[in-house]
Amino acid sequence: MARDNSCVSRVAAGAAMGGAIGGAFGAVFGTIDAIRYKVPGLLKIRHIGQNTVGGAAIFSVFLAAGSLIHCGRSY
């Protein structure tokens, strides 16, 4: 892999990993939240989906930003 693409690939990998982890936590939290607030019927699926996508998006941005910050440093 070229030296120029290593930063881009690190940021993309950070975003993908953040999306996976955030989605998993969002699904768990959404399920618990839907049960706790007694969301009726098929609205549970919508509620869980919104939490999953929201958690994935937020955590993906944070991990991508962290990867971008660490991209210029060499340890």
Q: pLDDT tens digit string along 16-46?
A: 999 999 999 999 999 999 999 999 999 999 9
pTM of the model: 0.84
Least confident range from 12-16, 53-57, 68-72: namely 68-72
Quote helix, strand, coil % in the chain, to nearest 5: 85, 0, 15
Angle at 29 between CA 27 and CA 35, to 5 degrees: 100
